Amino acid sequence: MANYLQMSCTTYRTGPQVGVQSHTLKWVCLVESGGGRSSFKQKRKHKTLKLFIATVNVRTLKSQERLEELEEELTQINWDILGLSETRLLEEKCTILHSRHMFFQNNKDTNPHIGGIGILVNKRIKHLVTKIIAISDRVIYIVVQISEGYTLQVIQIYAPISNSR
């Protein structure tokens, strides 16, 4: 480390100044200064995480064929988190699909013809999900750890039109 600092530092002589002995030797280290055009400031490359978030009203996911059809359509778009409304699936559970995507569903209604919400998380980022919380059969959210100091909350809300219930 000492050799590196000595190589990256330069010397210069200052001119006569009031109160200072003239022609004193000063060391200037460009690595530590951080300013100026000629400094050797190292550029940090930040790893960026781009997330593609979408929502869709699926109208029903009761049959396995309908879920497979949804997975087939998702291969044609970029997505990481997908909010689903009107799934009409009973109970609250988290499953891993055949495509290794994580699917969380919730419907506390006893009527299977009404409501239901879900969140589908891409297999690429499912390890970043720290919490999945269902508040009601119309509101759920997930918490995603996007970096060391930052989290992202994605909220899915199902709000049907006023004359539908």
Question: 10 Å Cβ neighbour count for 71?
Answer: 14
Domains recognised in the chain with CATH numbers: 2-33 (no CATH), 53-164 (3.60.10.10)
Query: What are the tens digits of pLDDT across the range 19-67?
Result: 444 444 444 444 444 555 555 555 556 677 789 999 998 888 877 888 8
pLDDT for res 93: 80
Quick one: average pLDDT of 140-152?
A: 90
pLDDT for res 88: 80
pLDDT for res 38: 54
pLDDT for res 129: 94
Global pTM exceeds 0.85: no
The mean pLDDT of the chain is 75
* Beta strand segments in 34-138, E: 53-57, 81-85, 93-96, 102-106, 117-121, 129-134
CA distance readout (Å), 6 to 25, 27, 28, 36, 37: 15, 9, 10, 19, 20
pLDDT for res 90: 74
HEC string of 50-80 equals CCCEEEEECCCCCCHHHHHHHHHHHCCCCCC
Quick one: average pLDDT of 76-95?
A: 87
Residue 163 or residue 69, greater confidence: 69
pLDDT for res 165: 55
Tokens of 73: 């359509």
Residue 105 or residue 33, greater confidence: 105
pLDDT for res 153: 95
Query: Confidence class of residue 135 from pLDDT cuts 50, 70 and 90?
Result: confident
* Of the candidates 113, 109, 115, the residue with the CA atom closest to the CA atom of residue 85: 115
